[in-house]
Amino acid sequence: MLISKKDGDKLKKFLLTSGDTKRKQATLRAEFLVESLSDNSVYSQLWYTSSDLKSLDFIKSFSEYAEPILEKKLIFEPKFVSWSCPHCESDFKRKNCVSNGKYCALQHDDNLDLDGREIIEENLRQHCLFWMEEEAYGTHDFSKKTRKSPKSLFFEYVKRAVQVCRNRITKECSMEIAEGLDIDFELVDDCVKATFEDPNDIERSNNNLLDSFAQDWMILGSHFYPAIVINDKTFRGRLTPFNAFEAICASYRDEPRECRKWQQFEGIPLPVGQSTGINQKTLFLIVVGLVLTNSLIILVYRKYLQREMEKDMKIQVSSAVSQYIALSQIPELNEASQSQSQQPKAGDPTSSAEISHQI
């Protein structure tokens, strides 16, 4: 990690003037701060070359972090490093360069039997695979079968290439990997040729794509690779898939759910100034939703209670009527009722006259 001389002087002064106890208790924390974009997206570029095994291993591991948020406001793009050697010998340019020495690649392993020109061509193949539309994959519907983003095809290709070819990815090896993924290799090859101004003369014809890569590398590159650039800021420090993904997540204004879930799993605190992912609009909608839900529950419950009361009242009325009918049909009770009705009642004149006559 690079720091300014002013910050370095502060650290030196602290170490020289502080006691042993204070130095042991001191902690140093550094953050990689990247300006968040207004649309809450992150634009990330990975710079490498296809013959560098370290770069390929990085992509293989980084895919596990990046794939879940691909096309979820993560704009990821692989870009490729090359060197210019227009004044090199003709034999060297023919074996290791295209466009008459304007774009060259070198071997990273003395035991690697691979020319620089083959490396450049594989770089272009990987670029084409990343940007190729899914309709060109052939009979294999990658997204439906794997439930991944179409851009994940690039990561799958690199993973298989590392397993089968390591860092010696020749055209034959690339064809084998493409066949395993049901990719029409002729379309890939046509895409590579189309990047040259004259597809029939790649040895001398200019390549606008590699030219744009070279210009961006001069502005953004750290001259070491693999290198990752996040929102036009080159990541400085020890580059690992873990560190790169942490820096990407910290670059969001409102980070995706996948980022926060991963940070919680790793025990990483929320970066300073970073939102929890719930903005005011979302919070307002949540509160309104809760109020409406509770109101609906109360309304439904009141209707339920009203129906239950009506049902209970009907049952009670029905039970009372049933009991009355049942009692009226019992003979003993009917006779007792009739005898009681025939007995004279006190104060009844008719009954008194009848008693007097009998006496």
296-328 pLDDT tens trace: 899 888 888 888 888 878 787 777 777 777 666
Q: Please confirm whether the linkage preceding 226 is cis (ω < 30° from 0).
A: yes
What pLDDT is recorded for position 152?
82
pLDDT band at 195 (very low <50, low <70, confident <90, very high): very high
Is 154 a residue whose pLDDT tops 70? yes
Distance CA 200, CA 145 (A): 37
Q: Which residue has the higher pLDDT, 280 or 67?
A: 67
3 state DSSP class of 11: helix
341 exposed, middle or buried (CB, 10 Å; 0-12, 13-18, 19+)? exposed
pLDDT band at 32 (very low <50, low <70, confident <90, very high): low
Is 88 a residue whose pLDDT tops 80? yes
- Relative orientation angle of helices 116-131 and 185-194, to the nearest 10 degrees: 110
Cα 316 to Cα 35, 108, 218, 319: the distances in Å are 73, 94, 91, 5
pLDDT 10s digits, 261-273: 888 887 777 655 5
What pLDDT is recorded for position 139?
43
Close Cβ partners of 125 (under 8 Å, ≥ 6 residues apart): 174, 188, 189, 192
What pLDDT is recorded for position 355?
44
Write the DSSP string, 83-109.
B--TTS-HHHHHHHEETTTTEE---S-
Q: Is the pTM above the cut of 0.75?
A: no
What pLDDT is recorded for position 81?
93
pLDDT band at 253 (very low <50, low <70, confident <90, very high): confident
Distance CA 182, CA 170 (A): 18
What's the mean pLDDT in 342-358? 51
Residue 286 has which token pair? 């949540």
What pLDDT is recorded for position 277?
52
Q: Which of 30-34, 64-68, 288-292 has the lowest mean pLDDT?
A: 30-34
pLDDT band at 73 (very low <50, low <70, confident <90, very high): confident
The percent of residues above 90 in pLDDT, for the chain, comes to 30
Close Cβ partners of 74 (under 8 Å, ≥ 6 residues apart): 41, 42, 44, 66, 248, 256
Class of domain 42-266: alpha beta
Is 39 a residue whose pLDDT tops 90? no
Q: Using an 8 Å Cβ cutoff, are 181 and 156 in contact?
A: yes
Q: Which residue has the higher pLDDT, 3 or 92?
A: 92
What pLDDT is recorded for position 359?
44
Q: What are the extents of the domains in the chain?
A: 42-266
Q: Using an 8 Å Cβ cutoff, are 48 and 216 in contact?
A: no
Interior angle at CA 340, CA 336 and CA 344, nearest 5: 160
> Strands 97-98 and 74-80: what pairing?
unpaired
Is 200 a residue whose pLDDT tops 70? yes
What pLDDT is recorded for position 279?
59
Average pLDDT, the chain: 80
Query: How would you write 269-288 as a 3-class SS string?
Result: CCCCCCCCCCCHHHHHHHHH
Q: Using an 8 Å Cβ cutoff, are 16 and 229 in contact?
A: no
> Strands 74-80 and 42-48: what pairing?
parallel
- Which range of 13-17, 20-24, 330-334 scores highest in mean pLDDT? It is 13-17
What pLDDT is recorded for position 137?
54
pLDDT band at 356 (very low <50, low <70, confident <90, very high): very low
